[in-house]
Structure 1
Amino acid sequence: MEHWKRTIERANSCFAEGELVDAREHYLQALALAQVLFERWNNADEAVAACVVSHHNLADLHLRLNQPEESVEYLCAIHQRLLQTMQNPRLTPALREAALRQSSKTYVELLNFISEHGEYPRSDLLLKSTVAQSSHALSTGNGHYSGAH
């Protein structure tokens, strides 16, 4: 966790100073660390938060570079990852519950992006699939989606 934090702090510093190429490299390193350690982190909430922060920082960076298509890809990727984590019975309940808690934040971020920048094919597909899965879960009584958003 400490290595991830230091990497994010370096990236944030570069971002603030307008050194966007360096910021991107550090954000990508932080994302790689968060993904590799996702299921191994001692604290499930920290693991999920690190993944979310890494994705959202990259999304913000690409918006600053006027690359909304890249930005929405990162927003969709993390939201989809959390939805998959919530459904994966092989993962610990703590990790699945942390993903559920964070999924409301990633959903709101995605909706905010769409309201400001419009829809993109991936965001449209992800949101339609989320609605369909939620409807199916509710109609079959398998409500692990109910209340997620």
Structure 2
Amino acid sequence: MNEDFDLIIIGAGPAGLSAADAAAREGLSYLVIEKGTIADTIRHYPIGRTLFSTVNELEMREGTLKPVREKPTREELLSHYIHFALDQDMQIITEEEVTDVNQTEPEGFLVRTPRGKYQAARVLFAIGAMAHPRRLNIPGEDLPKVHHMFVEPYPYV
């Protein structure tokens, strides 16, 4: 698949979705490429987890996130982001990892994935803070039950 876009956004978390929303409102052709699913990092939070952030820090547009309590749960936030992407008919490809980004001449970028190549005038990396955790390089950190973020505890009890 070879396609040309004004903007390619790598990552479909809150920042990537916000960038896609802004691009659409500006009339830009865009594509979001996500190696996992929409809001993938949040999807890996423990079931039922209440988030520390307030609604105004998390919602895509003012008044669109309405949690039962003061702060939303993992499920409420996932639902909010997924429905926002669907309601806005966002151009998102999930389960497709970007393998290479190269600048092309005279200007622009070629973005490659295992499934295709995409050309864009600009590329925005919105991979999130959890995409590349800071490793400590200590013995045991790569063991199967060692994680770089809090995960659902039930498989281990």
The TM-score range, normalised by the shorter chain, is: under 0.3
Instruction: Give the TM-score normalised by the residue count of structure 1.
Output: 0.26
Q: Larger Cα Rg: Structure 1 or Structure 2?
A: 2
More strand by share: 2
TM-score by length of 2: 0.25
Structure number with the higher helix fraction is 1
